[in-house]
Amino acid sequence: MTRRYFGTDGIRGRVGEEPITADFMLKLGWALGRVLSRERRPLVMIGKDTRISGYMFESAMEAGLSAAGADIRLLGPMPTPAIAYLTTTFHAGAGIVISASHNPHEDNGVKFFSGDGQKLDDATEAAIEDELDKPLVTVPSAELGKVVRLSDASGRYIEFCKGRVSRSTRFDQLRLVIDCANGATYQVGPEVFRELGAEVMTIGDEPDGLNINVDCGSTHPARLQAAVREYRADLGIALDGDGDRVLMVDERGELVDGDELLFIIASGRHAAGKLRGPVVGTLMSNLGLELALKGKGIDFRRAKVGDRYVMEMLRREKGLIGGESSGHLVCLDRTTTGDGIISALQVLEIMQHTGRTLHELKSGMQRLPQTMINVPIRRGTNPAQDETVRQAVQAVEGELGDAGRVLLRPSGTEPVVRVMVEGRDPDLVSRCAGRIADVVGEVATGA
């Protein structure tokens, strides 16, 4: 489907620039309300992260939905997966998340969940875009949507998260540092772990509307690594601005990325006899993850980059566990979408059941050296399809053998081809990546 506004994860952009403007959000809320009202009077949940523009867009979408005859529940600052959960529990027609995730405060966007707590399908997104072309017509006054602020949203979600681990699970002996990225998890995140018994210290928990993701959270984990060492904590948890991603820091202060967390969770499910279907990563998942899972007899598949495609493959292959190196992890046996808090809980529960530290658990997977080079190209071109480039790739693949991998991927956001090479020898990997990048550059410039 060709989308004018929707990307792989909703609509996102610079605040004040089309389409991230107040008037567009008004019309977008109205368009969603129109689509949902084809079946019945809809109820829509609205949550947001902590960036300052969320107030403006929340009001605009609220007005548009009301004009279309949709009732609204305002949730305030809440993690993206919390909106997915509350949408299902209230039997709402849809959930709206006003957030730009791990981006800075100058950006914002909108993500949507269907009534079953999953991202909207292509047909619904197409229907919304069709409505955007129509003039906004307000329903009769007696049919306008009503707005209620849900005062206990945080408590409901905290209880849901705690219920995603076994009733016997307690973290009384754990000392944690949690980095909330000055984002949507700043209230509920620490509380979940405290109520399960952990001693919790927090950073990145003082949002001011402008500091979301600034030198903190999963995109900037250095501060968390230092805090884990300073407080001699058992581990650190780094969430992103909207709470759907997580990275962790082990007791030594070493970063544990999404691939390593995916390995730990999948291995834990496998050992308990509760893993079904393949584990799904992406084209960018480290080869070390694939080799480690295969060593345990666990099937591993690669989807296109983006949590949308991970979810599609999991559903198609009837899998339960998947995710990306960035820390966007999906545990479909626990919830319907990527959830940083729930993913972290799975890791802590495995630590408790095995008696092993986070460092010990991650040691079962050895990350292979990886080199990535961005090669500038002209927009609309793809030198990766050139025969000269293909020959260069084949030569490198032959040199690396089974313990190496080459990936050429045009960027979806900038005019570059990403040349990625993995293998066991870092020097060989670096040289091979450079050779391919040189060939791609020559083809791209016509040299």
Q: Residue 250 class from Cβ within 10 Å (0-12 exposed, 13-18 middle, 19+ buried)?
A: buried
Would you call 285 a catalytic residue per the annotation? no
Among residues 37, 53, 99, 101, the one annotated as catalytic is 101
What are the CA-CA distances from residue 303 to residues 119, 181, 218, 324 (Å)?
17, 28, 22, 10
Choose among 188, 217, 193, 184: nearest CA to 203: 217
Cβ–Cβ < 8 Å for 185, 26: no
Q: How far apart are CA 291 and CA 58, in angstroms?
A: 45
Structure token pair of residue 412: 């979806």
Structure token pair of residue 379: 């927009």
* DSSP assignment string, 121-179: PHHHHHHHHHHHTSPP-PPPGGGPPPEEE-TTHHHHHHHHHHTTS-TT---TT-EEEEE
Q: Give the strand pairing for 246-249 and 235-239.
A: antiparallel
Q: How far apart are CA 237 and CA 180, in angstroms?
A: 8
Residues known to be catalytic: 101
